Amino acid sequence: MKQIISTDNRLDFMSKRKLAMIFSGALILISIVSFFGRGFDFGIDFTGGTLIEVGYPQAVDLNAARDVLDQGGFGDATVQLFGTDSDILIQLPPSEETEAGSATDKAEISNRAFALLNAAGGGDLDLRRVEFVGSKVGDELTEQGGLAMLYALIGILIYVGLRFEYRFALGSIIALVHDVVLVLGVFSLFQIEFDLPVLAAVLAVIGYSLNDTIVVYDRIRENFRKMRKGSPEEIINRSLNQTLARTLVTSLTTLLVLFALFILGGEIIHGFALALIVGVVVGTYSSIYVASAAVLALGISKEDLMPPEKEGAELDDTP
């Protein structure tokens, strides 16, 4: 028993592209305003500082812990529960007074803070984690992180430009920037801590979102070459419909594992999983509405995509 269901133009995506543009534009605007207005809650990976995670045998009295630290000379420490109510996270900003200290002074801070708490807490506390990042290393990481994102974008621009056509390369970069800005926007707007794993996740979002975009582009190119009739808008619509099932299924399976990671992966991996969840959702949307709408807006036509044997077709359409 054969089923024949037309997959052509079931959903007219491209007619809504103006609306999508306004929607995306508004979100990007909000994100950028937030970048400058609220900034980011950068983790110590980037700002430098000390982070200590301490496990207690029973539920912690946060105020008591704060008092102990306060009296021990750590007035600028922030203390919060971490994951469970018997785990606390202490963050200390990079302190100025020890800046000129000897080889290990700055790194010693964590030992002193833990010793204070341990003495007050009965001596059976568990030093679960210490992270100390010097401000120099933090600055380097920030610079490297920015560079990494830039190089990833350039590498992808070159690859897509070679493999497809410059309009596709531009379109995919527009979609990528869109996705990255929105993911960063969520972290800025809600002041979710931005640490090294989150940066890794943002770079992975670049990879994922592109993956999605490429699949759609591949189909658009194929259809432009194959279909005799139809305006670019119709062809793109048809391509989107054909790839829609795949786009949704892959996003769904990826989201399934990401939610597993978000819920079960532990506190340290939360930000990472969240960035990817936002990235996958945004990336799925952008491969349809941003990447595809962008190539359409850039004026893609049948002639641009004919196989390379028929050279010369590109000449009439270069800006």
Residues in 182-241 at the binding interface with other proteins, rule: CB under 8 A: 196-197, 199-200, 203-204, 206-208, 210-212, 214-215, 218-219
Site for other proteins in 57-116 (CB under 8 A): 102-104, 106-108, 110-111
- Cα dihedral sign for 251, 254, 257, 263? negative
Residue of 93, 134, 230, 232 that binds other proteins (CB under 8 A): 134
Measured between alpha carbons, how far is 163 from 271 in angstroms, rounded to an integer?
34
Under the binding rule (CB under 8 A), the answer on residue 129 touching other proteins is yes
Q: Of the ranges 4-12, 64-72, 232-240, 294-302, which one interacts with other proteins (CB under 8 A)?
A: 4-12
- CB closer to other proteins out of 34 and 79: 79
Task: Please give the size of the binding site for other proteins, defined by CB under 8 A.
Answer: 78
Under the binding rule (CB under 8 A), the answer on residue 145 touching other proteins is yes
Angle between the N-to-C axes of helices 196-226 and 166-189, in degrees from 0 to 180, rounded to the nearest 10:
150
* Residue spans of alpha helices (H) in 127-229: 135-163, 166-189, 196-226
DSSP string, 19-78: HHHHHHHHHHHHHHHHHHHT--EE-HHHH-EEEEEEE-SS---HHHHHHHHHHTT-TT-E
Measured between alpha carbons, how far is 83 from 87 in angstroms, rounded to an integer?
7
User: Which 8-state DSSP code applies to residue 314?
Assistant: T
Under the binding rule (CB under 8 A), the answer on residue 270 touching other proteins is no
Measured between alpha carbons, how far is 277 from 251 in angstroms, rounded to an integer?
10
Site for other proteins in 162-181 (CB under 8 A): 163
Under the binding rule (CB under 8 A), the answer on residue 245 touching other proteins is yes
- CB closer to other proteins out of 18 and 128: 128
Residue of 68, 88, 117, 141 that binds other proteins (CB under 8 A): 141
Residue of 30, 159, 232, 298 that binds other proteins (CB under 8 A): 159
Measured between alpha carbons, how far is 22 from 39 in angstroms, rounded to an integer?
24
Residue of 152, 174, 183, 296 that binds other proteins (CB under 8 A): 152
